[in-house]
């Protein structure tokens, strides 16, 4: 399966549609009634768990164990949680978000220099998936590679604002550190050797890539989505949300829960590769993004992934006669190509790989 080198039809920048001032959105962005957001469906007092990572290094073993349990419960019951005291300064998380906001407010001429293609998705984009005539999401984005280092190319990162590249480097280094911390925690909680998942990801040779999402104001937010329902194809996703505008919704049963970001928190969620490695003890969870009629929204989704050419399969220690392997072996590269061709489709991507029982 080879990705085409260009989009199936001309790319329209959603920011330009928003700034046109028209009171209606084009038909291409109108979702079927069953996929449209409900703004009253989320109970106001429910939120994803908030976990203080300082507990992992506390001198008191009971505090460390309690923190491990909190993370275990969040992985099993939610697939999503927010982390605070994660080691990234408030100045860094605010700074990296705002510098990307500045980029999206550069002139279209500046942004178009970085226009992407479906071959790698790197650069400035406005659609996911390659189906001609597909219903599109109300968002633009910027996608870049950080690891492996042979894929990182600063020339494909925006040159303006002038401190963007330096800030993204610093933020990326911290996210990779945080990813390794959580892989160790997940391994311990699953009853594996503490370095099992890090080794399964390729040791130090992991993948890490960033998608910065820009959700412009939308005149008809009840008809569309900023990002359609999907589970993340990779290992762990670290989302730096917009603290001033909520938008992320997580599926819990039949409800969509609107996430309320804690101050300077980073949201972590289980991706499809961890679901496969854990033999579905941990599950990736559907999520989507709603848009706002009055406010734009910026978020950073960092994807911490296995090395792309390693075979990913359920950990042998988690496979028993009672719990046979649910998934075939597949490299992350193979899975990612499978996903990118089809675009966001709920949980159907990873579920379609399950072995017949």
Q: What are phi and psi of 73, to 5 degrees?
A: -65, -40
Q: What is the pLDDT of residue 336?
A: 83
As a whole number of angstroms, the distance between CA 328 and CA 326 comes to 7
**How much of the chain, in percent, has pLDDT values that exceed 90?**
85
The H-assigned helical ranges of the chain are 14-19, 61-77, 90-104, 108-112, 164-189, 196-200, 272-277, 332-342, 348-351
- Where residue 128 falls among pLDDT bands split at 50, 70, 90? confident
Protein fold of 14-352: Jelly Rolls (2.60.120)
Q: Where are the domains of the chain?
A: 14-352
Per the prediction, the chain carries an average pLDDT of 93
pLDDT, mean of residues 11-29: 97
* Cβ–Cβ under 8 Å, residues 263 and 10: no
As a whole number of angstroms, the distance between CA 26 and CA 111 comes to 23
As a whole number of angstroms, the distance between CA 31 and CA 289 comes to 13
- Where residue 344 falls among pLDDT bands split at 50, 70, 90? low
CA-to-CA dists, residue 183 to 32, 180, 210, 322, angstroms:
38, 5, 19, 26
Q: What is the pLDDT of residue 341?
A: 66
As a whole number of angstroms, the distance between CA 79 and CA 72 comes to 10
Instruction: Identify the sign of the CA torsion 122, 127, 131, 132.
Output: negative
The pTM of this model reads 0.94
């Amino acid at each position: 399966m080879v990705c085409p080198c260009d989009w199936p039809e001309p790319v329209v920048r959603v920011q330009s549609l928003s700034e046109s001032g028209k009171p209606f959105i084009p038909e291409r962005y109108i979702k079927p009634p069953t996929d449209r957001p409900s703004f009253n469906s989320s109970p106001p007092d429910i939120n994803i768990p908030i976990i203080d990572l300082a507990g992992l290094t506390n001198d008191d073993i009971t505090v460390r164990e309690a923190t491990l349990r909190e993370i275990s419960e969040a992985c099993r019951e939610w697939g999503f949680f927010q982390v605070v005291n994660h080691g990234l300064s408030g100045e860094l998380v605010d700074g990296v978000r705002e510098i990307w906001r500045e980029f999206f407010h550069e002139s279209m001429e500046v942004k178009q220099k970085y226009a992407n293609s479906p071959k790698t998705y790197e650069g400035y984009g406005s659609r996911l998936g390659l189906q001609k005539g597909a219903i599109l999401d109300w968002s633009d984005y910027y996608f870049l590679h950080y690891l492996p280092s042979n894929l990182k190319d600063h020339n494909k990162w925006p040159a303006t604002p002038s401190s963007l590249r330096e800030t993204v480097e610093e933020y990326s280094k911290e996210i990779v550190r945080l990813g390794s911390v959580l892989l160790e925690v997940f391994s311990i909680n699953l009853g594996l050797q503490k370095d099992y998942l890090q080794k399964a990801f390729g040791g130090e040779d992991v993948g890490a890539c960033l998608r910065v999402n820009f959700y412009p104001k939308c005149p008809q937010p009840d008809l569309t989505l900023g990002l359609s329902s999907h589970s993340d194809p990779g290992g762990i996703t670290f989302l730096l949300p917009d603290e001033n505008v909520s938008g992320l919704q997580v599926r819990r049963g039949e409800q969509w829960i609107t996430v309320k970001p804690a101050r300077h928190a980073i949201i972590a969620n289980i991706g499809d590769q961890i679901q496969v490695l854990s033999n579905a003890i941990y599950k990736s969870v559907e999520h989507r993004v709603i848009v706002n009629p009055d406010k734009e929204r910026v978020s950073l989704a960092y994807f911490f992934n296995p090395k792309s050419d390693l075979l990913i399969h359920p950990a042998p220690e988690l496979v028993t006669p009672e719990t046979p392997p649910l998934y075939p072996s597949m490299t992350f590269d193979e899975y990612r190509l499978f996903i990118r061709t089809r675009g966001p489709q709920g949980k159907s991507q990873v579920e379609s790989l399950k072995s017949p029982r």
